[in-house]
Structure 1
């Protein structure tokens, strides 16, 4: 009944049973703290209630209405707090806690817990499914959304839209994928296919197709503008590289000229020095008269 999801819940071990009145009071306090934006207290309390609510519901200590409220508030708070990094938003969850929660959802444990209670995806309240997929989106927000799309592809065939055509949560879930997730991933063919075949859109297929076509055209235009800006940036970088290459060539040429000039100056200096030495040597050499007198002395 539960498709390809495996069985097993993480909330089966505790044996403590609380009275319904206590669970109701704790939930009301959680809700009050949440509305007052006291997220630290609210999250800690709702986490504890969430863990024990499955057991209390299956043992009929609490009714489905209270169970759904508890799970819903937990999902809403996780969806709010999980994406917060270390520099933004309320720092209720540490990095380790966020990683642990992400693992709980991505290991499909949460879906298995719900299926332990409802047996089939079709029976899970649609508001819980909607918020569950919002959390999946938060987990995959900085990734390629493979996990998010995989989960949707697994539950989609299990949902009977014919019997729930007016279910606003199912509509919102479909719209979330048709007009947001698949659009972001550029998977327009999936969106068009759902619009064409899903009864939720059957009353006005042309209108929904027109809306999607406008989004696609806008998306293509943004891509075109982005590509144009990217090309302009690349052209500027190439021009800068050319200018830099010209500067380097000019600098090299100037260095060569300077080097040649120095060599020429040194050569001229050496030539002058050699001429000077030659002149001194010539001027200091004996003349003809001196040579004759020297010869006389030597012969005499």
Structure 2
């Protein structure tokens, strides 16, 4: 028979082993909880811009291990699609394809015109949307277009006398882009940033901006939504942004003291906000 001493020794060893196993498991779980949660961001640019405006934000997010897709809309940037392909439905289809190209949910981000696009897209594939983020973005209610909201801006910066349209009204651009683009979109940007945006300017298709959105308000209400205000904005006034946020029922907001394109002029601030949404 075992002595009392041997029995106590064996029991002590069992307790010690169990304690080590529990501690190891706890450490693994704690490490996993503290590990960064890598996300997929889908970024949608606005009018008179293209995917290149997200370059710095994309690079910084990728350094943190996140997957980033910057969508190039039809007729913008390097995309050579025919003007007829630049429709709201086709924009939405392209963003949807980007979302469906990855497993799991995404954080969908839209700027300016991109706000209208992500609104329509997210309500079509709500199960794929983790968070919906507007950066100085339009948020049209169903049945309304971007143009409808733009007309309600009490302090519009983009006025008819600044614009040039062809006889068929298929596109719109600026009469003096070297002045208008920096003033309206990148007042706080560097000389190099302003020149890059002017250099990449292409006439903007008008049809998507005049097309009313069609979606289920209940689906939209159920999405996790955020808005980033740009208080020095001259393209969409801060007041107009506040009006849209209130009407859309968005309660979670951030503020950047910047002009219309903070992802160019202040990318670190935009990245900080987006990283906060991954926690």
TM-score normalised by the shorter chain: which range applies? under 0.3
Higher relative CO (Cα under 8 Å, sequence separation at least 6) belongs to 2
- What's the TM-score, normalizing by structure 1? 0.23
* Structure with more of its chain in helix, by fraction: 1
**TM-score (norm. length: structure 2):** 0.24
